[in-house]
């Protein structure tokens, strides 16, 4: 199984980096081949809203920076994970700067899903999506909104399945990572 | 914060497009009406500050002089565009490190639109903004969110499909001008789709084909660029 882990901690955010470490370790324990993408070290420019990736160079963003490689990695993976600080219930701006650039992975055309309009799939299959958010203090409202956002994104981006978890304060990140992967059916194999 | 008698509105335009965006048109429609009520208005684009700390500091400083901040943005991947989130993070951090005085507490209102016919797609982003206001302790003044945002690009609101909710729009602006929150009736009126959702896939498909032809795109729009 191929997994891409987007480490969207900003410089100095050791808590989110620790959460990314925990998720990578939990995936490796399950035998996954993990690629860790450290967003803060990449050249990712913000989406310009030009729709060039739909009507100029279909399937690829017109901006030649590291987001192109990330898009290729994501669509070739079985599991796409985002580890980010939670900002008011959303992903932080660093994670979002990558996500905004992934619309090239779907088509501009529309379809109906559960009575709502969404974009049609470009590819035959899409990875599962998991999101691990870190927060300085517990907030039920922010955790719930974060889960709702991940659910909405997984519908729009056609992820095969999805799960979201938040960790706050000094809660153990390893436990959250385990729960997250269990939620998408990636359980650790128990041998006798 | 400015004195009690002043009425200054700061519009943050969240679209990365340099001009003619739906976000700018929507903000302009609100701003011109506030000016008619005696407000001073100022509009700033957020995108150029995304990778420029000095520009971001200028935006944060402007917040300190505003009584009302209006965020006008499109929906990107079910939430706010990254530069708008960056602004909110910088605003929070400036209050935390003291570079923005805690008395700088303007009310916050949101104008949001998405490319789908249903305003429901704006729901998470609006809630993010409300939680932001709650977290930094400023007054939430409500939101107007609608679908088919492109329909007001570069147009006066009266000439756009939003002309159908003009009374509710005027009521929303009047509320903001008088220091009240956007009425729930206005929010609900904006949320009603302009076209039935079932007709949108065909309409949208034609629009994308037309845009691709205009851009002389020689490749199929359904191209799978990356290996799986």
Q: How far apart are CA B33 and CA B55, in angstroms?
A: 28
Residue of A11, A57, A89 for testing the chain B interface, max B β-carbons within 10 Å: A89
| Chain B contact present for A138, CB below 8 A | no
How many C-beta atoms lie closer than 10 Å to residue A43's C-beta? Answer: 9
Q: A181-187: which pairs have CB atoms within 8 A and are 24 or more residues apart?
A: A181/A23, A181/A26, A181/A27, A181/A30, A181/A130, A183/A130, A184/A79, A184/A128, A184/A130, A185/A161, A186/A1, A186/A27, A186/A30, A186/A32, A186/A79, A187/A30
What is the number of residues in chain B?
228
Give how far the C-alpha of residue B95 lies from the chain's centroid of Cα atoms, to the nearest Å: 22
Q: What is d(CA A99, CA A84) in angstroms, rounded to the nearest whole number?
A: 12
Contacts of B116 in chain A (CB under 8 A): 110, 116-118
CB contact residues (below 8 A), chain A span 70-129, against chain B = 71-72, 75-76, 87-94, 96-97, 99-100, 102-104, 107-112, 115-118, 122-125
Tokens 């701003």 -> residue: B31
The alpha carbon of residue A75 is apart from the nearest alpha carbon of chain B, in Å, by: 7
User: Token pair of A166, please?
Assistant: 């938040």
Residue A15, burial from CB neighbour count under 10 angstroms (0-12, 13-18, 19+): middle
| Tokens 């580890």 found at | A83
Q: Measure the CA–CA gap between A125 and A122, rounded to whole angstroms.
A: 9
Across chain A, the runs of DSSP E, i.e. the strands, are 2-7, 33-38, 79-87, 90-91, 106-113, 116-121, 128-135, 162-168
Name which of A48, A108, A122 is nearest B224 (Cβ-Cβ): A122
**Interface contact flag, A45 B51, Cβ < 8 Å:** yes
Summarised one tens digit per residue, pLDDT across range A74-90 is 999 999 999 999 999 99
A164 vs B195: CA distance, rounded Å: 33
CA–CA gap between residue A21 and residue A13 (Å, rounded): 13
B33: enclosing H helix or E strand: helix B22-36
pLDDT digits over A117-136, tens only? 999 999 999 999 999 999 99
> Considering only CB atoms, which chain A residues are within 8 Å of B127?
89, 145
Residue B123 CA: distances (Å) to CA of A190, B48, B140, B172: 42, 26, 15, 18
Whether B153 has its CB under 8 Å from any CB of chain A: the answer is no
* Structure token digits, residue A3: 């997994």
How many degrees, rounded to 5, is the angle at CA B125 between CA B121 and CA B127? 110
Mean pLDDT (chain A, rounded) = 96
pLDDT per residue over A9-68, tens digit each? 999 999 999 999 999 999 999 999 999 999 999 999 999 999 999 999 999 999 999 999
Distance from CA of B201 to the nearest CA of A (A): 5
Instruction: Give the residue from A54, A47, A49 showing the smallest Cα distance to A96.
Output: A47
- State residue A77 phi and psi, 5-degree precision: -95, 165
| Minimum distance, in Å, between the CA of residue A53 and any CA atom of chain B | 9
SS3 B153: coil
How many residue pairs bridge chain A and chain B with CB atoms within 8 Å of each other?
A: 170
Check CB contact of B199 with chain A, cutoff 8 Å.
no
- Residue pLDDT, tens place only, A168-181: 998 999 999 999 99
CB proximity A11 to B under 8 Å: no
- Is residue A105 a contact partner of residue A30, using CB atoms and an 8 Å limit? no
Low-confidence ranges of chain B (pLDDT < 50): 1-4
Q: Which of B77, B128, B200 sits opposite A88 (nearest CB)?
A: B128
Q: What was the pLDDT predicted at B5?
A: 53
CB within 8 Å: B208 and A47: no
A109 Cβ contact partners less than 8 Å away, ≥ 6 residues apart: A119, A120, B201, B204, B205, B208, B221
Contacts of B198 in chain A (CB under 8 A): 112
d(CA B76, nearest CA chain A) in Å:
6
Q: For residue A190, name the pLDDT band (cuts at 50, 70, 90).
A: low
Query: Which positions in chain B touch A102 (Cβ < 8 Å)?
Result: 77
Please give the sequence-ordered ranges of beta strands (E in DSSP) within chain B, or none if there are none: 8-13, 40-45, 68-74, 107-113, 140-146
A136 touches chain B (CB under 8 A): no
> Is residue A88 within 8 Å of residue A35, measured between CB atoms?
no
């Amino acid at each position: 199984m191929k997994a891409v882990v987007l480490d969207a901690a900003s410089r100095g955010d050791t808590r989110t980096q620790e959460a990314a470490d925990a998720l990578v370790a939990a995936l490796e324990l399950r035998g996954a081949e993990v690629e860790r993408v450290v967003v803060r070290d990449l050249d990712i420019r913000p989406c310009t809203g030009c729709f060039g990736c739909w009507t100029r160079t279909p399937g690829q963003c017109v901006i030649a920076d590291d987001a192109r490689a990330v898009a290729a990695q994501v669509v070739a993976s079985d599991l796409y994970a985002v580890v980010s600080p939670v900002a008011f219930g959303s992903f932080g701006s660093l994670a979002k700067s990558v996500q905004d650039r992934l619309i090239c992975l779907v088509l501009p055309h529309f379809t109906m899903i559960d009575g709502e309009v969404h974009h049609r799939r470009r590819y035959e299959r899409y990875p599962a999506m998991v999101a691990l958010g870190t927060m300085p203090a517990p907030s039920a409202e922010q955790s719930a909104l974060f889960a709702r956002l991940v659910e909405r994104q997984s519908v729009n981006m056609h992820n095969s399945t999805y799960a979201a978890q938040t960790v706050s304060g000094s809660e153990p990140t390893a436990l959250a990572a385990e729960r997250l992967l269990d939620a998408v059916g990636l359980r650790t194999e128990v041998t006798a | 914060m400015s004195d009690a008698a002043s009425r200054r509105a700061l519009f943050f335009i969240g679209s990365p497009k340099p001009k003619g965006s739906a976000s700018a048109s929507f903000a302009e429609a609100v701003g011109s009406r506030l000016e008619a009520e005696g407000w001073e208005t100022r509009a700033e684009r957020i995108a150029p500050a995304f990778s420029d700390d000095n520009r971001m500091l200028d935006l944060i400083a402007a917040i300190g002089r505003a009584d009302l901040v209006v965020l006008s943005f499109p929906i990107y991947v079910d939430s706010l565009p990254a530069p708008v989130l960056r602004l909110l993070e910088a605003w929070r951090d400036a209050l935390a490190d003291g570079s923005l005085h805690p008395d700088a507490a303007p009310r916050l209102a949101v104008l949001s639109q998405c490319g789908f016919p249903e305003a429901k797609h704006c729901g998470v982003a609006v809630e993010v903004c409300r939680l932001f206001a709650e977290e930094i302790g400023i007054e939430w003044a409500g939101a107007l969110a609608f679908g088919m945002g492109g329909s007001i690009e570069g147009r006066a609101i009266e000439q756009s499909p939003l002309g159908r909710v003009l009374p509710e729009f005027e009521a929303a602006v009047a509320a903001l001008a008088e220091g009240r929150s956007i009425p729930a009736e206005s929010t609900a009126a904006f949320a009603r789709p302009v076209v039935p959702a079932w007709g949108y896939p065909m309409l949208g498909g034609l629009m994308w084909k037309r845009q691709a032809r205009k851009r002389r795109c020689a490749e199929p729009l359904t191209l799978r660029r990356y290996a799986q």
